[in-house]
Amino acid sequence: MNTNTLYAPVVIPTLCRYEHFKRCLESLERCIGADKTDVYVGLDYPPSEKYRDGWERINSYLIEKENNNGFNHLFVRRRDHNCGVGGIGSNGALLLAEVKKVSDCYIFSEDDNEFGPCFLSYVNWGLDTYRYDERIIAICGYNEVCIEGTDYNVFAYPLFSAWGYGMWFEKRSKFIRYKDFTALEAQTKKFKFSLLWKAEFMHAYHVLRMLHRREFYGDSIIGCLPENERYCLFPVKSLVRNHGWDGSGLHGSRSRNDVQEARRRPIDMNLEFEPIIGDHLCRPELRCIYNQHYGRGEKIWKVLFRKSAFVLWKLTGINIC
Whole-angstrom Cα distance, residue 202 to residue 48?
35
Whole-angstrom Cα distance, residue 62 to residue 76?
8
What is the structure's pLDDT at 255? 47
Residue 294: helix, strand or coil by DSSP? helix
- 181-191 vs 201-213: helix axis angle to the nearest 10? 150
The secondary structure of residue 234, as a DSSP letter, is: E
Query: Which positions of the chain have pLDDT values less than 50?
Result: 2-3, 253-256, 259
**Structural domain boundaries in the chain:** 10-178+216-284
Whole-angstrom Cα distance, residue 265 to residue 27?
15
What is the structure's pLDDT at 254? 46
Q: What is the pLDDT of residues 22-45, one digit of tens each?
A: 999 999 999 999 999 999 999 999
The phi and psi torsions of 238 (rounded to 5 degrees) equal -55, 140
What is the structure's pLDDT at 147? 77
Residue 240: helix, strand or coil by DSSP? strand
Q: What is the pLDDT of residues 166-224, one digit of tens each?
A: 999 998 877 655 556 666 666 666 555 555 555 555 666 677 777 777 776 666 666 55
In sequence order, what are the residues at sequence separation of 6 or more whose Cβ sits closer than 8 angstroms to the Cβ of residue 151?
276, 278, 279
Other CB atoms closer than 10 Å to residue 125's CB: what's the count?
22
Answer CATH for 10-178+216-284 from 3.30.1330.10, 3.90.1150.10, 2.30.42.10, 3.90.550.10: 3.90.550.10
CB 178 within 8 A of CB 274: no
pTM metric for this prediction = 0.82
What is the structure's pLDDT at 201? 59
Question: Which residue from 135, 164, 159, 188 is spatially nearest to 287, judged by alpha carbons?
Answer: 159
What is the structure's pLDDT at 82? 97
